[in-house]
Amino acid sequence: MSILEEVYQSSFEWAQLGLESVQTDFGALVFNKDDSSHHEGNAAWKLSSANVESDIVGLVEQQYRSRGLVCHNWVPALSSPETDAILASEGFKDSPAFGFARKPARFSIPNNIEFVSAKVDPELHISVYLLPGQRWSNDSTRIQQSIARLTSSDGYTPYTCVRDGQPIGRIGALKTASGALRVKSIFVGAEFRNQGVAVTMLNHVSTIASDQGASMIFSEVECDNVASVQLHKAFGFESVGILHCYSRNA
């Protein structure tokens, strides 16, 4: 398996956290139905470019309807001309992302910064979701449900970055089946940006990866997210290829 394929596989493992998974001939679908009135859900397909058929979309929609889900969905997939053509013909939009990888290393953390696991203090972690600059819903009930789902996994840990006693950002670390550590959900509150916080959070995850003996650190950044791409490259991440996320309103 190539490093790019491992990065892709880690995306799929992330999508499966705490969600319902339905195995199919072409891979797996993953569903999430929350308790809000909108009944949102997500679906992720692990596509094999050697065996992609146009009835995938119909099968997915059937699975959605059987669960009463009306939502947007996304498909992390290794791209191929066949995959692109089929999904484009079905109205999916491609949002390419860089797959990033680097070797773990240990870093020192400033004395006035600490990282608190959301498994230890979920309320502190929730407070970060309410900071200005967050694109996530400010519905505290939904946030609480999402954090509870994510922290129920042994392999994933969300961390709250606290500086001088104040929560200022968050980052997650997913231990993958391949023995790597996957960076997820980097966020710094609007008023704390451009102060080196994001680099400090990456330092924290890298140190965890080193201490755990992880083989690599993976991350994924949309190609048009210039600031995050620059951050990853400055931190020593190298692009190992392009991942493709196809989306469409259901």
Looking at residue 175, its pLDDT comes to 93
**Percent over 70 (pLDDT), the chain:** 73
Tell me the pLDDT of the chain averaged across its residues.
Answer: 81
Strands across the sheet with 166-175, in order? 72-77, 238-249, 93-102, 217-222, 181-188, 166-175, 156-163, 113-117
Residues 208 and 111 reside in one and the same domain: yes
Residues 136 and 35 reside in one and the same domain: no
Q: Where are the alpha helices (DSSP H) in the chain?
A: 3-15, 55-66, 81-89, 122-129, 140-151, 197-212, 226-234
pLDDT tens digit string along 206-225? 999 999 999 999 999 999 99
Judge whether residue 15 has pLDDT over 80: no
Half-sphere exposure (Cβ direction) of 131: Cα atoms closer than 13 Å: 22
Nearest to 168 by CA among 204, 139, 142: 204
How far apart are the two ends of the chain, measured CA to CA in Å?
Answer: 33
Looking at residue 31, its pLDDT comes to 64
Work out the number of other CB atoms within 10 angstroms of the CB of residue 192: 19
Last residue of a domain, one of 36, 70, 100: 100
Asked whether residue 18 is domain-assigned, the answer is yes
Return the structure tokens found at 10. 């880690």
Residues 17 and 39 reside in one and the same domain: yes
Confidence band, pLDDT 50/70/90 cuts, at residue 171 = very high
Asked whether residue 132 is domain-assigned, the answer is yes
What would the mean pLDDT of 61-79 be, rounded to a whole number?
Answer: 65
Confidence band, pLDDT 50/70/90 cuts, at residue 228 = very high
pLDDT tens digit string along 105-120? 999 999 999 999 999 9
| Domain residue limits at 168 | 104-215
Asked whether residue 246 is domain-assigned, the answer is no
Residues 154 and 185 reside in one and the same domain: yes
Output the domain CATH number for residue 198: 3.40.630.30
Judge whether residue 178 has pLDDT over 70: yes
Asked whether residue 8 is domain-assigned, the answer is yes
Residues 25 and 112 reside in one and the same domain: no
Confidence band, pLDDT 50/70/90 cuts, at residue 37 = very low
Nearest to 77 by CA among 92, 89, 67: 92
Q: Is residue 63 packed enough to be buried (19+ CB in 10 Å), middle (13-18) or exposed (0-12)? A: middle
